[in-house]
């Protein structure tokens, strides 16, 4: 019988639904992080290599660099909203996993 104060981590890690949860998280987190880092680093790169393009006024006296910097705030909120939406799915997967573990422990 399993000790209720000490979880059986090896058994949990061996479960296919636990592996599916980890894979689902990786499928979102890794591409989102790569996108975020490239988008974040694009501003200094564009200013460094294309200063005239970034200095050009686009909306009144507001230039491309300021608009791109503002778009980074929007992008951050969008990525955070997408993450929260996905996290609800992961929470449901986690609750299903925990309930199946509790059911299997109560039967033994």
Each residue of 53-100: pLDDT tens digit? 999 999 999 999 999 999 999 999 999 999 999 999 999 999 998 888
- Alpha-carbon distance of 45 to 20, in angstroms, equals 38
Query: Does position 1 have pLDDT exceeding 50, yes or no?
Result: no
pTM for this predicted structure: 0.78
Map residue 59 onto helix, strand or coil: strand
Query: What is the per-residue pLDDT for 103?
Result: 78
Closest CA to 65 of 51, 75, 79, 76: 51
Closest CA to 15 of 102, 88, 106, 107: 102
Confidence grade of residue 13 (pLDDT, cut at 50, 70, 90): confident
Q: Which stretches of 1-108 are DSSP H helices? A: 9-14, 16-49, 51-55, 64-107
Residue 31, token pair as written in the block = 């591409």
Query: What is the per-residue pLDDT for 108?
Result: 62
Query: What is the per-residue pLDDT for 5?
Result: 61
């Amino acid at each position: 019988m399993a000790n209720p104060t000490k979880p059986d981590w090896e058994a949990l890690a061996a479960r296919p639904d636990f592996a599916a949860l980890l894979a689902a998280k990786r499928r979102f987190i890794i591409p989102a992080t790569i996108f975020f880092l490239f988008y974040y680093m694009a501003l200094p790169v564009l200013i460094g290599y294309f200063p005239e393009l970034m200095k050009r006024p686009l909306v009144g006296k507001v230039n491309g660099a300021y608009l791109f910097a503002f778009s980074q705030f929007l992008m951050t909120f969008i990525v955070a909203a997408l993450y929260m939406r996905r996290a609800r799915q992961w929470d449901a997967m986690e609750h299903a996993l925990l309930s199946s573990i509790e059911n299997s422990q109560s039967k033994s």
